[in-house]
Amino acid sequence: MGTASNSAKAVLRGLAAARPWQEDLYRDIHSHPELSHHEERTAKLASDRLRESGYDVHEGIGGTGVVGILRNGDGPTVLMRADMDALPVRETTGLPYASTVRGTDASGQDVPVMHACGHDVHVTCLLGAAALLGEARQSWQGTAVALFQPAEEVGDGARGMVDDGLADVLPRIDVALAQHVLPAPAGRVGTHRGPVLSAADSMRITVYGRGAHGSMPQAAVDPVVLAAMIVIRLQTIVAREVAPTETAVLTVGSVHAGSKSNVIDDHAVLELNLRTYDQSVRRSVLDAIRRIVVAECQGSDSPREPEFHLYDNFPLTVNDDAVTDRVHAAFVDHFGERVATMPAQSASEDFSDIPTALGVPYTYWGIGGIDEQQYRSAAEAGRVSQDIPVNHSPTFAPVIQPTLDTGTEALVVAALAWLGR
């Protein structure tokens, strides 16, 4: 590890010089967020910076995806990924660089747009790491790949790049790396072996009844009652069909039927979300959902079979043990006591679709983004959940430093665990 550590120190000597432009770039990206599949401006910023750093750049992969490749002699090839898209959230941080942008979502609605998940941090840190590697080529060897991915928030950006020929523009990849800013103290880094992010599936279920006047229920098959019974029965899946040693979260987030108090409608629509950490558990829960819905429809004498639409599918993220151990050791060597084991997260990501398609091992770690004193005060008061904004919150705004420095260092250190001379 000593050789890699020396390489990291040499490459990171340029961090102080990069810090001003990184901070300016971060504020710029934060002020100009773009929704999934609309990341044109962000993609151009990434492409321009990569070219300035000497990378061969490929644009428009999977829509707005960008890949920069820097070949620097014989050696391994390391892929580093950042996601670029923002969310339909109205920012309330009060920051001088807060977003006031509005955009059009996939359904054609005009919505506010905010980098409420920290993808602006990810882009800025990867561009910083790419620039530092480009400036210090004498300190490492191999190939660095910087990948900027669209549409993570809707779960199809990684697959979109893969389906659009990503493998055709890449050299053979040896390892893939990614990170995410989290509501933890800034300056901290956390790794996790094995399953780290849950698989996620959203499902829209339409069940059918027979409409009638509210005063004549005997003439109806009431879809509201049917939907209510389904919601209640679905709660038994996790409680009675998933082993206590396994984890699953099943949430019915939306139920809609009817438009007037005295009219029994002819259908109801339920939307639910499932989170799992094991593919067999995922399959069994999805099967159970269908079984229960079909059975309840039969029990209510529904005139039509229910319809199921699965969407917003996120894969399970399972960190490779050997890769994670190697990155963790490099982090401990560089960051010391600022490194910890990150708990498994119930959030979901589509990053793993890329290394899975390429057949390479990967690891995904977290960096903190909350002011350390703010976090400590909240922890001491037992109010972390109440006082610390989380990802997707309209008040989520990572402190610029040491967040950007930490994320940039983490990418450099992790990559040089393979590329270091």
Domains of the chain listed by start with CATH number: 2-197+316-419 (3.40.630.10), 199-313 (3.30.70.360)
- Residue 111's H or E segment, with its range, is strand 110-112
pLDDT, tens digit, 9 for 90 and up, residues 282-336: 999 999 999 999 999 999 999 999 999 999 899 999 999 999 999 999 999 999 9
Is 125 assigned a ligand-binding role in the annotation?
Answer: no
Question: What whole-number distance in Å separates Cα of residue 265 and Cα of residue 397?
Answer: 44
- The pLDDT score that the predictor gives to residue 370 is 98
Q: Is the pLDDT score of 2 beyond 80?
A: no
Is 122 assigned a ligand-binding role in the annotation?
Answer: no
**Which pairs from 48-51 meet CB under 8 Å and 24+ separation?**
49/25, 49/127, 49/130, 49/131, 50/127, 50/130, 50/146
In degrees and rounded to multiples of 5, residue 126 shows phi and psi of: -70, -40
Other CB atoms within 10 A of residue 32 CB: 17
- The pLDDT score that the predictor gives to residue 224 is 97
Q: Is the pLDDT score of 1 beyond 90?
A: no
Is 180 assigned a ligand-binding role in the annotation?
Answer: yes
- pLDDT band per the 50, 70, 90 thresholds, residue 4: confident
Is 58 assigned a ligand-binding role in the annotation?
Answer: no
Q: Can you tell me the mean pLDDT for 368-382? A: 97
Q: Can you tell me the mean pLDDT for 366-378? A: 97
Please give the radius of gyration of the chain, using alpha carbons only, rounded to the nearest integer. Answer: 24
- The pLDDT score that the predictor gives to residue 367 is 98
CA angle 11, 351, 64 (to 5 degrees): 85
Q: Can you tell me the mean pLDDT for 209-213? A: 96
Q: Is the pLDDT score of 11 beyond 80?
A: yes
- The pLDDT score that the predictor gives to residue 346 is 86
Average pLDDT of every residue of the chain: 97
Q: Can you tell me the mean pLDDT for 108-137? A: 98
